[in-house]
A = this chain, B = another copy of it.
Amino acid sequence: MNPVNLKLLAQKLNLSIATVSRALQDSHEVSTQTKERVKALAAELNYQPNAYASSLRRNVSKTIGVVIPEVNNHFFSLAINGIEAVARQQGYHVLIYLTHEDHDREADITQYLTGGRVDGLLMSVAASASQDFSHLKKLYDSKPAIVFFDRVCEELPTASVTTNDYESGYLATQHLIEAGCRHIVHLMIAGNLSIGRMRMQGYHAALESHGIAFDETLVVNGSDDDDGNTHLITDLLRQRPEIDGMFASVERLAISSYQACQALGRAIPADVKIVGFSNLGVASLLNPALTTITQPAYEIGREAATILLRAIEKKHPILPSQSVVLNSTLFPRRSTARD
């Protein structure tokens, strides 16, 4: 299969490569006729410019990278949808990398990404126990624009798109308190995540302002082992029958908490009330009492991509002041066909 490149087109048309190139870019300095001729042949031969040659020459790749912990997670899926929509609209390609919450993997990935492969990066950091962000700093120094979303690395002076996590945590907890709960478990994901801290602080503050003592033993650190989490919660519920409420700061923990209650035969919401983060429409179907907090995941993706691409196009650096905080939707009931 002989390659269809500018040289071939030029030969067939008795033109120079440069003219063909210009014609295909609708340059003003090419006669309308030759433009037509060139484009006609290009279409006929199904010419497609070599992206790598072009990237090499112009030093831009029209490609962004998305680095996230998992894709098998409704929040990130929806975010990718938003990212892809914006990228596509602006002619950008999207490379995807999954860290699986692994710090070393994340470091590996960011390492590769310093090679000019991407013009910019959208990132949600892995929930590693370590506080070591040296790989991110290296990446940041190297070149590409970075915008964080949801899970932020606060040590880099760049923009981020997040949700009102503190407030959500506060309201979720307050909701439980107002519903009569006095012994509220906080289910959070292990690791050192900005969002985890914020939600935790909201939980803490809500307890305090309602005169309920913070009980450290009611805080559960989940892992990425769902069954393990369910066991953890089941055991806690068994040992502490006074528990009457749970605030799950991650979707899968909300589901685990639901399963734990089922396993023990404790009724929801009669015995235990649950409020959980969930970006999955179905979760609220599980039980009308499983109150949910939904993040605007798609919009987060769109917003983050928009900020990033704007900066790339205009060659502006990205400043922390461009950060955006969106609001989660609290306590919606998923409408059924009959509402």
Contact = CB atoms under 8 A, between A and B. Distances in A.
Interface of A: 1, 46, 48-53, 55-56, 61, 63, 70-74, 77-78, 80-81, 84, 88, 93-98, 111-112, 114-117, 138, 142-143, 227, 230-231, 234, 255, 258-260, 262-263, 280, 282-283, 285-286, 336-338
Contacts of A78: 72
A336 B71 contact: no
A254 B227 CA distance: 25
A80 B73 CA distance: 12
26 contacts: A46-B138, A48-B115, A48-B142, A49-B115, A50-B115, A51-B117, A52-B61, A52-B117, A53-B56, A71-B77, A71-B80, A72-B81, A77-B77, A80-B96, A84-B98, A88-B98, A94-B96, A95-B95, A255-B285, A259-B337, A262-B336, A262-B338, A263-B338, A282-B282, A282-B286, A285-B286
Contact of A337 (B50, B70, B111, B230): B230
Given A72-B78, A77-B77, A230-B336, A95 B93 contact: yes
The prevalent SS among residues of A at the interface is helix
Given A56-B56, A71-B81, A142 B46 contact: yes
Contacts of A63: 95
Given A73-B77, A94-B96, A96-B96, 13 more contacts: A50-B116, A52-B53, A52-B56, A52-B61, A71-B77, A72-B77, A80-B96, A81-B98, A255-B285, A258-B285, A259-B285, A260-B337, A282-B283
A302 to B, nearest CB: 13
A158 to B, nearest CB: 16
Contact of A259 (B52, B73, B230, B336): B336
**Chain copies in the assembled complex:** 2
A72 B55 CA distance: 31
Contacts of A73: 77
Nearest to A1: B143
Contacts of A263: 336-338
Contacts of A93: 95, 112, 117
Contacts of A97: 84, 88, 94
A49 to B, nearest CB: 6
A331 B46 CA distance: 48
Given A71-B77, A71-B81, A116 B282 contact: no
Contacts of A142: 1, 46, 48
Contacts of A234: 337-338
A119 to B, nearest CB: 12
Nearest to A234: B337
A73 B73 CA distance: 9
Contacts of A56: 50, 52-53, 56
